[in-house]
Amino acid sequence: MLRFWKKLNELYGWLAIVFFGFIMLIGIWQCYDNYYIFEHSGNSDILRYKPRSHSADGTAAAENPITDEMVAWITIDGTNIDYPVMQGKDNTHFLNTDPCGEYSLTGSIFLDSRSSSDFSDEYSVIYGHHMDYGKMFGALDDFLSESYLESHSTGTLMLGRNGEKTCSLRVFAAMRVSAREKIVFDMDNNRIRQFIRSNAEVLTEESESRIVALSTCADADSVTRIVVFCYID
């Protein structure tokens, strides 16, 4: 009987080792997963393909691994937002596809599939994942502070794959809104200006210029979106 209990205790000991070893492996995997996501949401590598001139001779495109679905490059000064803007046939493709066409948890910054690729619409919407450390569109939270918005209110939108035309961006408003809000996400051009005027948490100016909205999730488990509005000049 004594030998039986001794064997049983040894079995319990090994089971405990296996159990806690399994928990440790899960922890290591989560750390690696977070590291992987962080590293692959960076824009240091992709910046080498940012258009440097307004040349449309095709030279840059021939050396560029970014797919032909790139329609622009967006930069908001003083933030990590400095990315190519992609556009797919629908609004799901670039959720988990990077600008080079490869699978990626962080996806891409992308223009709504219903928007004109040259941003000629009176109102356009650009989407991006909300990542930690201000990666992708993780920086949009900060624009809910008026002082931050006022000190980070400039940017550029380079249109076309090779930056054939550069437009200035002026950040002028920010809000939290439901993902089901049709005026914002069905791109109701006729009512968007009044909606911003009535619902913005921060609003610094009003203009008749074209508007582009930058949208991201407020958090992983919410239908709330953080939307930052810019005028295109």
Residue 15 maps to a domain = no
Specify the number of domains making up the chain. 1
Q: What is the pLDDT of residues 205-216, one digit of tens each?
A: 999 999 999 999
Residue 100 maps to a domain = yes
Q: What is the CATH number of the domain that holds 167?
A: 2.40.260.10
Average the pLDDT over 36-40 and give the result. Answer: 44
Q: Please tell me what DSSP assigns to residue 164.
A: -
Q: Is the pLDDT of residue 41 over 80?
A: no
Residue 135 maps to a domain = yes
Least reliable range by pLDDT among 25-29, 74-78, 153-157, 211-215: 25-29
Quick one: what percent of the chain has pLDDT higher than 70?
76
d(CA 29, CA 225): 29
d(CA 17, CA 205): 63
d(CA 155, CA 29): 38
Residue 32 maps to a domain = no
Q: How far from the centroid of its chain's Cα atoms is residue 205's Cα?
A: 25
CA distances in angstroms from 204 to 77, 143, 174, 196, 214, listed in the order given: 17, 11, 10, 11, 16
Strand 165-178 relative to strand 154-159, pairing: antiparallel
Residue 203 maps to a domain = yes
Please state the pTM of the whole predicted model: 0.80
The SS3 assignment for 12 reads helix
Q: Please tell me what DSSP assigns to residue 27.
A: H
Residue 6 maps to a domain = no
d(CA 68, CA 98): 12
Residue 154, domain extent: 46-232
Q: Is the pLDDT of residue 75 over 70?
A: yes
Average the pLDDT over 78-99 and give the result. Answer: 96
Q: Which segments of the chain are extended strands (E)?
A: 70-76, 82-86, 109-111, 123-127, 154-159, 165-178, 202-203, 210-217, 224-232
Average the pLDDT over 191-203 and give the result. Answer: 97
Residue 61 maps to a domain = yes
Joined together, the tokens standing for residue 53 give 């001139």
Residue 30 maps to a domain = no
